[in-house]
Structure 1
């Protein structure tokens, strides 16, 4: 089609204008994508969103539901039926994250060497089987094995999806989509409380206690969706069947000078090493590390925390819904604001500060005021979830080189979930009902998150300033075709 070269010409113009390129987070001004093929950018983005985000969000919702429903199951007699004593229940939470941490980077390497259409549904099918089997565990040892392999099979989903979305959207567009995807985590908490409340009435059906039906029914739901997922998960723009050829060319053009998404990059271990040697990748990881402890302690222990405020088990299941509902709304609102301003660090600092207020309320409220303490859980959730969404999307926007970005994303989750491993041991029965140990650690970690975010913010601003100096000295970004090769390119401006 004669109009397609016109797209390339407009991209090249953006490449030649280095001053314009460096002054914007997106390397090519949006005005350069003016409908030369009869394609309107906004409707095309909406098309991508509707095709890509709902399936991925459903996958993550079920993933988070299958990992966190153990907190709901505990209220329905899990620990008593499996004769757990002391802190053995906490061990079942910890072992999940050990499996998760060990296999995140290998899973993203497999994703890079296979395809999302094959790998992501296969992961889901695997964890659906394990999640269902948890419902028929007869002793602690069997349940521990199941929890470990649940962590192994779920480990590749989130880092895989973050990398996957970075191959479809411009760097300034990824956070909003990742935040919408991550909002499924808070929705999983809300739905989990509702489901657990209803499934609790199945106690005795088939001779099984209610907690077993929580795992069995939610695991079977995952299996059904996994089979369907093979048909609605797509690969990359070059092969997606729902795109026309002009749409493929347009997507390729708009990504060309913004990121490495259009590059043909073979997997190389040197790119993995490049991520390991980049100090910023470690700071991204520590950013999630400081968020994962409060994130997972809240999602795993919220039913128990609320029940300790003198509510019944059934009431506690239902009362988990409002904090998660508020968190989901805040996650989307903050994502929109961050997307429009192209800022990350200020919103992380603001949201983490809101969560800090929540934990201060929880720590300072006496048992005689359960309503006030409950408000503290809402503040905590409303701050933790949107802040975590930004932390997780940051490396996807700021690391270039496909294998390096896939590795950096997995590093972020791996380093981060080491915080979750620690967090699973903090809400010990002996510290009930005030939970000073767990709440204090969560508060301290959120304060460390403010510090880490401030350091990373300053470092990224410093590196951007150095790139502007290199441009002023005559350095030109991109390769011969104008494509950004890596994040050291002067045209690759870090999002702050």
Structure 2
């Protein structure tokens, strides 16, 4: 218990630690600007495209292409299938192809496919386009989390992951505004319907972002040749994570079946994949626009109100994501965010299940459910830390987490949130409560397995012990490794001396 308590104390200090030198501050400022600006713009355009297929459907595409039955649902399912298939190959290709080349190339692919969507003559052509678009867009989310984990310390990951995740939510918010503006000003111009112009505008927005990535994206520390980083800053970027990660073990190795066996024999792949496969479904309130369907189902609201009121869900999502991500960096712990979002969604579900409750309470419940998005950035930051000692494993685990979540997404909404259940969604509310309870159990499982791995590390190996968030180790291990060449930060040493 003393060993674990010392680790917790060291973690509190490390979690709030700022860059230790002027050089490190300058490096962080540069990579924050060039990495986050590009990744956020890329993710924004990604979500803009995803959301605009729904906006196009209700803005004339359905009638013009004579879509019937569940054809729109099939578009989303086929996109998800392409997204699932592309995740792991995209992340592994980042080990072979420079991210500065791969990310923009994938953007150009989905921009060209977006232009093609504006010319389709039937829904089957959209099926084919959306499948390949899903494969290209699957490079963005997990690929960015892989890159973030390559540049930032564990105590720096949460806030950056939160900013990145929020950019996608902003894309969702902006999509409706863009559709309305395009439809009003361009519908019928040059013989094109407003929904067709929407995809033209999407493609035009995407291409300059891809060019920006070609010019400024810095790859990862071990391969970066960014013109804005001096040789000293490149070296600092390679060495500054030394206190959190055994860099020798974290080096990329050739892809092989031995690597696959190693990954599949570890708890990390199974537990982290399970965690996000389950916890990701807490976002179902927002991703299925249940509030919009609720408002339309009970009646009494204008079209503008039905479009605008659910924006509050995304607003709560953005605030929750950034606040929680910042808090996890300050404290160094991730799991409380998953508890927060699970409890919030349980409360929301109960408020909606009790149908006799006031409408104002139901509004509150739907807005509160926006808290579910806070777990996305936190969960991937946590996985980045857990797998920090192996690049390939980290790439596969991050991709698998999103892959399994999307595998569940492909059928989850059809079973539990069909439009025919609006406005009450009784099955969905019960499913949400069950998912939240399962999320709490999965969170405990990852928490337990991570700490068991930490306790089982061999102190004679010369490695610094890694505490419960992948940060520099406890005082007990500092004492055991006094002759080790490993760097131990002064804050952790001070905690050890206090305990002595």
TM-score by length of 2: 0.83
Q: Partner of 1:337 in structure 2?
A: 327
CA shift at 1:178, angstroms?
A: 1.3
Q: Partner of 2:37 in structure 1?
A: 54
The aligned runs of 1:186-205 (5 Å cut-off) are 186-201=169-184, 202-205=186-189
The aligned runs of 1:307-456 (5 Å cut-off) are 307-310=296-299, 311-365=301-355, 371-381=360-370, 383-399=371-387, 400-426=389-415, 427-456=417-446
Bigger shift: 243-252 or 166-175?
A: 243-252
Q: Which whole-Å CA distance do the structure 1 matches of 2:432 and 2:15 have between them?
A: 41
CA 463–104 in structure 1, closer or farther in 2 if over 3 Å, else same: same
Q: Which whole-Å CA distance do the structure 2 matches of 1:432 and 1:327 have between them?
A: 22
CA displacement, residues 182-235 of structure 1 (integer Å, 9 cap, x when unaligned): 111221121122222323324434444433333332233113322332112221
Q: Secondary structure at the match of 2:51?
A: helix
8 Å CA contact 2:286, 2:313 repeated in 1: no
Runs of 5+ consecutive residues of structure 1 not aligned to the other structure: 1-18, 479-489
Runs of 5+ consecutive residues of structure 2 not aligned to the other structure: 471-500
8 Å CA contact 2:11, 2:331 repeated in 1: no
CA 103–291 in structure 1, closer or farther in 2 if over 3 Å, else same: same
Q: Partner of 2:132 in structure 1?
A: 149
Q: Which whole-Å CA distance do the structure 2 matches of 1:492 and 1:370 have between them?
A: 49
Query: Does 1:98 find its partner at 2:81?
Result: yes
Query: Does 1:301 find its partner at 2:328?
Result: no
TM-score by length of 1: 0.83
Q: Partner of 2:237 in structure 1?
A: 251
Q: Partner of 1:466 in structure 2?
A: 456
Q: 1:44 aligns with which of 27, 40, 64?
A: 27
CA shift at 1:330, angstroms?
A: 1.4
CA shift at 1:121, angstroms?
A: 0.5
CA shift at 1:397, angstroms?
A: 1.2
Bigger shift: 385-394 or 285-294?
A: 285-294
CA shift at 1:53, angstroms?
A: 0.7
Q: Partner of 1:13 in structure 2?
A: none
CA 298–20 in structure 1, closer or farther in 2 if over 3 Å, else same: closer
CA displacement, residues 35-61 of structure 1 (integer Å, 9 cap, x when unaligned): 4xxx44334322321221111111011
Query: Does 1:117 find its partner at 2:100?
Result: yes
May I ask how many residue pairs the two structures share in their alignment?
457
Bigger shift: 68-77 or 402-411?
A: 68-77
Q: Which whole-Å CA distance do the structure 2 matches of 1:84 and 1:20 have between them?
A: 63
Q: Partner of 2:266 in structure 1?
A: 278
CA shift at 1:322, angstroms?
A: 2.3
Q: Partner of 1:495 in structure 2?
A: 469
8 Å CA contact 2:346, 2:433 repeated in 1: yes
Q: Which whole-Å CA distance do the structure 1 matches of 2:81 and 2:354 have between them?
A: 33
Q: Which whole-Å CA distance do the structure 2 matches of 1:291 and 1:189 have between them?
A: 20
8 Å CA contact 2:342, 2:372 repeated in 1: yes
CA 208–350 in structure 1, closer or farther in 2 if over 3 Å, else same: same
Q: Secondary structure at the match of 1:76?
A: helix
8 Å CA contact 1:124, 1:226 repeated in 2: yes
Q: Which whole-Å CA distance do the structure 2 matches of 1:81 and 1:436 have between them?
A: 34
Q: Which whole-Å CA distance do the structure 1 matches of 2:85 and 2:189 have between them?
A: 38
8 Å CA contact 1:135, 1:213 repeated in 2: yes
Q: 2:219 aligns with which of 235, 249, 257?
A: 235
Q: Secondary structure at the match of 1:377?
A: helix
CA shift at 1:260, angstroms?
A: 5.0
